[in-house]
């Protein structure tokens, strides 16, 4: 809870900065360095990839997500490379920029980004096994 | 081509993500992996975890710094 509150406070501070300034670089660099340090410190050097039960594996449960991710990447490229204004060809970045114009939107986005980073570190630690999966 | 096609496609992709999320949580056998399982698989892969961290870093830098 204290960590979440600290992350929220940090996101609120970070949202006051303007991109392309040293302040924005600094507040963004701190979580980057923190995650890198935590990953090196807490993750095993030789990870054991998450293993699904045999019955689950046969159903290829990752495939739908892979297809969706491929669709997102493909459409992002189509829109990015299309001739014309960005308004006529919205990309993920341009849509997020619209949210980024508002202080609360930037703070919420920054907070989400911090939480995702913390989740990534947590999931890479061997003791964490999500429901419906098993470690080898 | 107007922006309508672009926004419509993004909306469809978002709906697709929500459908997958729902399917991964329904009770009868997960034919679709839960997002937490996908994230754990990525975070425990030897090279996937490096790509995952780099993607997270790039997203933050791109969105908030440069």
pLDDT per residue as tens digits for the range A71-118: 999 999 999 999 888 888 999 988 988 888 899 999 999 999 999 999
Question: Based on the domain organization, do B37 and B66 belong to the same domain?
Answer: yes
Instruction: Locate all alpha helices (DSSP H) within A15-102, ordered by sequence.
Output: 22-42, 54-57, 63-81, 92-100
Question: Based on the domain organization, do B38 and B65 belong to the same domain?
Answer: yes
Question: Based on the domain organization, do B25 and B37 belong to the same domain?
Answer: no
Place of tokens 């920029």: A97
DSSP-derived 3-state class of residue A58 = coil
ipTM tops 0.90: no
Question: Based on the domain organization, do B48 and B23 belong to the same domain?
Answer: no
Domain boundaries, position B24: 1-32
Task: State whether residue A117 sits within 8 Å of chain B by CB.
Answer: yes
Taking the C-alpha atoms of residue A125 and residue B42, their distance in angstroms, rounded to an integer, is 12
Chain B hits for A47, Cβ within 8 Å: 44-46, 49
Question: Based on the domain organization, do B19 and B46 belong to the same domain?
Answer: no
Question: Based on the domain organization, do B25 and B11 belong to the same domain?
Answer: yes
Task: State whether residue B8 sits within 8 Å of chain A by CB.
Answer: no
> Distance from A53 to chain B by nearest Cα, in Å?
11
DSSP-derived 3-state class of residue B54 = helix
Judge whether A32 and B60 are in contact, CB under 8 Å: yes
Side-chain half-sphere exposure of B22, counting CA atoms within 13 A: 6
Token digits for A45? Answer: 């050097």
Chain B hits for A106, Cβ within 8 Å: 64
Q: Which helix (H) or strand (E) holds B19?
A: helix B3-25
Question: Based on the domain organization, do B38 and B21 belong to the same domain?
Answer: no
Question: Based on the domain organization, do B1 and B27 belong to the same domain?
Answer: yes
For residue A134, list its beta bridge partners: A51
Question: Based on the domain organization, do B25 and B54 belong to the same domain?
Answer: no
Question: Based on the domain organization, do B27 and B5 belong to the same domain?
Answer: yes
B56 to chain A: nearest residue by CA?
A117
Give residue-wise pLDDT tens across range B7-61.
Answer: 999 999 999 999 999 999 886 666 899 999 999 999 999 999 999 999 999 999 9
Question: Based on the domain organization, do B9 and B20 belong to the same domain?
Answer: yes
Chain A hits for B10, Cβ within 8 Å: 75, 90, 92, 95
Task: State whether residue A136 sits within 8 Å of chain B by CB.
Answer: no
* pLDDT given at position A47: 87
Contacts with A29 (C-beta within 8 Å, 6 or more apart), sequence order: B65
Domain tally, chain B? 2
Question: Based on the domain organization, do B26 and B55 belong to the same domain?
Answer: no
Rounded to two decimals, the pTM is: 0.86
- Give the CA distances from residue A108 to residues A23, A24, A78, in Å, rounded to whole numbers and listed in that order: 18, 16, 28
């Amino acid at each position: 809870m204290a960590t979440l509150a600290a992350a929220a406070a940090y996101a609120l501070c970070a949202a006051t900065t303007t991109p392309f300034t040293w302040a924005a670089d600094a507040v963004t660099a701190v979580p980057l360095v923190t995650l890198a340090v935590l990953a090196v410190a807490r993750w095993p050097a030789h990870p054991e990839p998450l293993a699904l039960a045999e019955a689950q594996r046969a159903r290829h449960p990752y495939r739908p997500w892979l297809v969706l991710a491929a669709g997102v990447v493909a459409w992002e490229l189509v829109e990015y490379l299309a001739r014309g204004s960005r308004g006529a060809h919205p990309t993920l970045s341009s849509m997020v920029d619209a949210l980024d114009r508002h202080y609360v939107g930037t703070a919420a986005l920054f907070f989400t980004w911090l939480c995702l980073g913390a989740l990534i570190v947590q999931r890479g630690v061997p003791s964490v096994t999500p429901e419906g999966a098993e470690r080898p | 081509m107007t922006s309508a096609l672009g926004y419509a496609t993004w909306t469809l992709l978002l709906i697709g993500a929500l459908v997958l999320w729902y399917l991964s949580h329904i009770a009868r056998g997960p034919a679709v992996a839960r997002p937490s399982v996908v994230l754990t698989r990525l975070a425990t892969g030897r090279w996937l975890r490096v790509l995952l961290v780099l993607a997270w870093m790039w997203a933050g830098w791109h969105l908030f710094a440069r």
